Structure 1
Amino acid sequence: MTERLGDGGGLRGDGGAAIETGDGESDAGSRPTVTVVVVTYNSVPTVAETLASLTGQTYPSDRYEVVVVDGGSTDGTADVAADYGVEFLVEEGAGIGACRNRGIDRAESDYVAFTDSDCAVPATWLDSLVDRMATYADDERVVGVGGPNRPFPTDSAFTKLVGSFQGTAFGSGGSPQSHDIDRERLVRSVAACNVLYDAEIFERFRYDDSVNVGEDAELHFRLSEAGYRFAFDPTIAVSHHLSPSLRALWAKNRSYGTAMARIQRRHGKLVRWYSFVPTAAIGSGGAALAADLVTRRARYVPLLAALFLVASGYAALQVYRDRGTLLAALVPVVFAVQYLAYGVGFAEGLTVDDP
């Protein structure tokens, strides 16, 4: 049975809640302190799952705390947080970057960890992140540790299909948080839904308050430019509710594309090498169609269609090997929707100023 958080104590002694896991106070002084920050907004359908997983950690109960930073929810998110006794901070109208910074400002721990309000972490999550961080204690480049995010076991077959596709090179562009990489390595960025930072890095770097989507990519780009790296451990995975429908997949990837383009415009540099590929593919398709219409010969469009079928067929084969389901036949549709949405969003981000 999951136990709730108490109302007193904590790492700071000023109202922060300490986790009650039932494991006692063992190793009280030998483990680093951790503040886990969960950013949320209207998250009633999923946030209880997140907080339940965080209250069941194997990490010593007096060495970590959970802080929820809310962007001004209008549903019952605050009531759910109260049920779990966690500290609940409200940043009315704030974006994700600003909410993450509020959690950082609140923390006085050795490490700051983040997961999202539509995720659930394994019971050993903090233990694993802290232990992995310790193995890089002598490497000043390493400022954090992260791992992949995977669909929930209870998610729909379509959601799991999306997760498997995004675990392929074509579905993730090779990003370690999505791509199915089976070895530990140093990377330039990890997903903020599964990350632990050395808190000292926040004395010099912060999330950008004005960035709402892609805020982790923007911060991690600046860190990588300064020579810092993250340790990516594929064994430290969290469950994440991915897109449950084609409509949701379109909306999410369009917002990702827009955010990435705006970040790259701001820095004047290519943040992710693959970010322009979907837009370039759309442009190439349009040019090919125009050329074939002018010449009245089907030359370029069939060639591009054949290339797409080869790429999507390869991805479908990988998904079938992963999931063993005939739904892998839908991968070309998922592939097309994700790339079109991201490409449209990226083009919008290049041409339209921030609102």
Structure 2
Amino acid sequence: MHRQSGGNERGKGRSPQLSVILCTYNRCNLVLSALASLRRQTLARHLYEVIVVDNGSQDGTPAVLQRYLQARTPDERDWQVRCLIERRNGLAYARNTALEVARGEIAVFLDDDALASPRFLEHLLQTYAETGADAVGGRVELYWEAPRPYWLTDELLPVLGYFAPASERLQLKAPQSLSSSNFSVKVAALRAVGGFSPLLDKRLAVPTRLGVEDLCRRLHAAGYALWYEPRALVAHRAHAARLCRTFFIGHAYWQGRSEVLMELSAALAQRAEERNACLSWRALLSDLQRLGRLCLVEQPQLLITRGTSAQRLHLTMESVRCWGRFQQRLSLLWRPLPQEGSLAVLLVMAPQCDAATLLLAQALRREGLACQVERASLSLTWLWRHRSLDGQACGVVQLQRPGAWCLPLRRGLNLLLRLWLARRLGLPLVVADSGGWWHGARGFRPLLRRWLESLLLHQANAILVPTQRIEDCYYERSLRERAHGLPLAGFRGYYAVPLPRAEAYRRLGIPASVPYVYLCFADQHSEEETLTLCESFRRLWEKLMPVPGDVSQGPHLLLVGVPPDRPRAARLWQVAARMPMLHLFLRPPLDDEIPLYLGAADALVLPQRSHLRAGNVELALLALSYGRAVVAPALPNFADLPASQAVVFYHASDEADLERALSEVRSCSAQELLRLTGAEPQLEAVTGWRDYARRLVKLYERFRW
């Protein structure tokens, strides 16, 4: 929160080009000197405003500033000055507060102990006009308050704020940055890259100091142009208290800690592997090895060779910098990084590629969450880094359809051990239960999958189901109380457009005269369910076939993949040998083959047994997303499908009713299907999963405390 004071009446209606921002803390005398230097600018006063932000000073700075502004002479009344108060301690908070009220197109940032040259603002504005820059930094000279020590070499002057990379104007390339004491940025560009990071700018007890370097990194990455103008000159005070070796050694320590935080800030926007590399035990050991070499090898060598005092100071500063890096990495590994935004999310999916999980991860990242995806495993580094502290959750583990995971015994036990560790670390567990073939299959392997799924459901803090009919999904009251109905989104735009029918028929070996094609992904059904479909289809085909023996005049059935409970598919082979209108493709479909099968199909069939949670809703959404009809069981998971007019329901495990649904679905015309499904925003991959992610984020926020 902040309040405003000061200002002028005559300049309220004007829009200045520059907003000069001064942030101060317990330096009332110094900030008055900085204001005096801005008052003497040659630039016309209606072209710039000054915003002073007091960051919770205890020396009466707001009252002193108020008296200073009230004592202005009549000819200074058109000088536009405002005073704000930002009580959250931190330079980034103060600067972001000033940005909220800045009226200028360009924000100019000065330290409160800097003195601007008379033509400072004039040269800045001229550089913007002549170069088209998005950010401009000026030269910083030192104003010595005490004699320069003999050991203070030119290489150490930047520690005191000195900045002069060139004698002429030049464009800065990555990773070059501007001086934190004298820089300016267009407000639109600054807001586009997210403003200042409280993590990297100095605070009262944590004097990290790489906030401007991180800002320049983001500006470079976004393609903005950064320029240096040596004529835009300010003088930065070299305080007498800082002209001692202990100040330089302390600066080196916090420089090391700031570097690690900046590396992490840059890695958070990258892939999970890069984030793990930044915060890993290997990186920690690398810093420790560097520190050991400096202390055990290079320092004894310097003592033996009797190096100069400047050389000893440089080596000490480098050693302390490495120690700061080591401590910061160790701290981040020991305690989770404070998050300004939402929780971090670990999505755990089956070893096979899962398009729904990948789309959800993308949507969560677009909503600002740090989302990482693992395949049937939990990263120990992630669990430790996002563990709960002081009762506050820093991360959420979400398991996507755990019944679909086919894991060897050793890997399964390892997964259960890590899930136990996640619960011990206070991480909430969310299980997405959208059904699968294992609910209707017999045998030991499906039984193990059901046992694992049931175990995780009973341990979960929340259960996600794709329907609002939660009371129909679970018999147990404890599961119903933790279940949340979140209908899934579609896939339109994720896969390529289905192939033209003639091309798909040719590539799949289907006669061109075939009037209708049913599609079933057998790798998502049990063998018994697949055989039930084949039998219902055979009876329908015999009724509809106009000419006995001519298979090209009746409907055909595409079976893609093999049932997971019977990988050899011996019975399926026997059935296919007796049914020439059945096309069997044993290889599971790849992402680039989905358009081929959907291009040939008129309807997708989902044969299911009568289990409450049976049925893969994602397959139905895939077909609807691309304008194909769906034959689905009348089970709770399918109750909230979009474009329900394109879905024909049947009673699960009833072969006669499945035959009826196969016959009825043929009455849906292709044009009508495209019209019905095209009007459903839920079927769009981007907007549909965006809305799903936003509802999910609201659920995650319940776990923060």
Instruction: Give the conservation status (yes or no) of the 8 Å contact 1:110–1:199.
Output: yes
1:282–1:340 Cα contact (<8 Å) kept: no
Amino acid in structure 2 at the alignment position of 1:151: L
| Higher Cα Rg, which structure | 2
Whichever residue aligns with residue 93 of structure 1, its letter is R
Show CA shifts across 1:312-331 (max 9, x none).
Answer: xxxxxxxxxxxxxxxxx753
* Residue 307 (structure 1) shift: 10
Measure, in 1, the Cα distance between the counterparts of 2:151 and 2:143.
12
**Aligned residue among 318, 323, 326 for 1:347:** 326
Which aligned pairs between 1:136-155 and structure 2 lie closer than 5 A? 136-137=131-132, 142-155=133-146
* Cα distance, 1:126–1:248 mapped onto 2, change above 3 Å: same
Higher relative CO (Cα under 8 Å, sequence separation at least 6) belongs to 1
Write the distance in 1 (CA, Å) between the matches of 2:152 and 2:141: 10
Unaligned runs of 5+ in 1: 1-5, 15-28, 271-278, 293-299, 310-328
Distance in 1 (alpha carbons) for counterparts of 2:163 and 2:305: 23
Output the CA distance in 2 between the equivalents of 1:307 and 1:124. 50
Cα gap change, 1:289 to 1:164, in 2 (>3 Å): closer
Cα distance change, pair 350–304 in 1 and its aligned pair in 2 (3 A): farther
Matched, 1:183 2:183: no
3-state SS of the aligned residue for 2:52? strand
Q: Deviations over 1:59-92 (max 9, x none)?
A: 1012111111121111132233224324221111
1:9 and 2:9 correspond = yes
TM superposition shift of 1:133: 1.5
Q: Which whole-Å CA distance do the structure 2 matches of 1:167 and 1:156 have between them?
A: 14
How far off is 1:130 after superposition?
Answer: 0.9
1 CA distance for matches of 2:10 and 2:258?
Answer: 37
User: Do the aligned partners of residues 177 and 11 (structure 1) sit closer, same or farther apart at CA in structure 2, a change above 3 Å counting?
Assistant: farther
Alignment-mate amino acid for residue 168 of structure 2: R
Task: Indicate conservation of the 8 Å contact 2:121/2:232, yes or no.
Answer: no
**Counterpart for residue 325 of structure 1:** none
Q: Is the 8 A contact 1:147 1:195 kept in 2?
A: yes
Q: Quick check: 1:12–1:108 contact (8 Å CA) kept in 2?
A: no
Indicate which of 165, 183, 189 corresponds to 1:195. Answer: 183
Q: 1:46 aligns with which of 27, 30, 35?
A: 30
What is the CA deviation profile of residues 193-223 of structure 1, one whole-angstrom value per residue up to 9, with x for unaligned ones? 2112222213412112443232211221111
CA distance in 2, matches of 1:307, 1:100: 48
**Counterpart in the other structure of 1:267:** 266
Of residues 340-349 and 95-104 in structure 1, the stretch that sits farther from structure 2 once superposed is 340-349
Residue 125 of structure 1 corresponds to 120
- Partners of 1:217 and 1:330 lie apart in 2 by 30
Query: Per-residue deviation at 1:135?
Result: 1.4
Aligned: 1:102 with 2:97: yes
Q: What's the offset of the Cα at 1:50?
A: 1.3
Structure 1 281/110 Cα, relative in aligned 2: closer, same or farther at 3 Å? same
What do residues 296-321 of structure 1 show as CA deviations (whole Å, max 9, x unaligned)? xxxx7666779995xxxxxxxxxxxx
Provide the C-alpha distance between the structure 2 equivalents of 1:112 and 1:308, rounded to a whole number of angstroms. 49
CA offset at residue 161 of structure 1?
6.8
**Structure 2: which 5+ runs fail to align?**
1-5, 70-80, 203-209, 275-284, 339-705
Secondary structure at the counterpart of residue 135 of structure 2: strand
AA paired with 1:79?
A
CA contact (8 A) 2:30 2:113 kept: yes
Q: Per-residue displacement from partner, 1:127-157 (whole Å, max 9, x unpaired)? A: 11111111112xxxx3111023221044442
Partner of 1:164: 154
- 1:79-135 Cα distance to aligned partner (Å, 9 max, x none): 332243242211112311121111111111121100011111111110111111111
RMSD over aligned CA atoms reads 3.6
CA contact (8 A) 1:34 1:111 kept: yes
Amino acid at match of 1:207: F
CA displacement 1:274-317 (0-9 Å, x = unmatched) = xxxxx989844623765x7xxxxxxx7666779995xxxxxxxx
What is the CA-CA distance between 1:340 and the residue it aligns to? 3.4
- 8 A contact 1:11–1:64 mirrored in 2: no
Inter-partner Cα distance in structure 2 for 1:163 and 1:303: 21
User: Counterpart of 1:38 in structure 2: which amino acid?
Assistant: L
Give, in whole Å, the separation in 1 of the partners of 2:100 and 2:7: 21
Residue in structure 2 matched with residue 26 of structure 1 by the alignment: none
Amino acid paired to 1:97: A
> Aligned equivalents of 1:102 and 1:131: distance in 2?
27
Distance between the aligned counterparts of 1:331 and 1:301, measured in 2? Answer: 13
**Residues 1:241 and 2:232 are matched in the alignment:** no
TM-score, structure 2 length as denominator? 0.37
Which position in structure 2 is the counterpart of 1:313?
none
Structure 1 pair 288–165 and aligned structure 2 pair: CA distance change class (3 A): closer
Asked if the contact 1:41–1:71 (Cα under 8 Å) also holds between the matched residues in 2, the reply is yes
1:295 corresponds in structure 2 to none
Q: State the identity as a percent.
A: 21
Secondary structure of residue in 2 paired with 1:252? helix
Separation in 2, partners of 1:163, 1:56: 33
What is the aligned partner in structure 2 of residue 69 from structure 1?
53
Q: Where does residue 62 of structure 2 map in the other structure?
A: 78
1:254 aligns with 2:253: yes
Whether the 8 Å contact between 1:101 and 1:209 is mirrored in structure 2 is: no
Query: In structure 2, the residue corresponding to 1:157 is in which secondary structure?
Result: coil
One-letter amino acid of the counterpart of residue 157, structure 1: R
Range 75-84 or range 333-342, more displaced: 333-342
Q: 1:191 Cα deviation (Å)?
A: 1.6
User: TM-score scaled by structure 1?
Assistant: 0.69
Paired with 1:129 and 1:334, the residues of 2 have a C-alpha distance of 37
The answer to whether residue 87 in structure 2 is matched with residue 92 in structure 1 is yes
Q: Distance in 2 between matches of 1:180 and 1:115?
A: 18
Residue 335 (str. 1) matches residue 314 (str. 2): yes
CA distance in 2, matches of 1:215, 1:113: 15
CA–CA separation in structure 2 for the residues paired with 1:75 and 1:144: 34
CA deviations on 1:236-258 (whole Å, 9 max, x unpaired) are 33211243322222333322321
> Secondary structure, in 3 states, of the residue corresponding to 1:263?
helix
Which letter does structure 2 place at the counterpart of 1:146? G
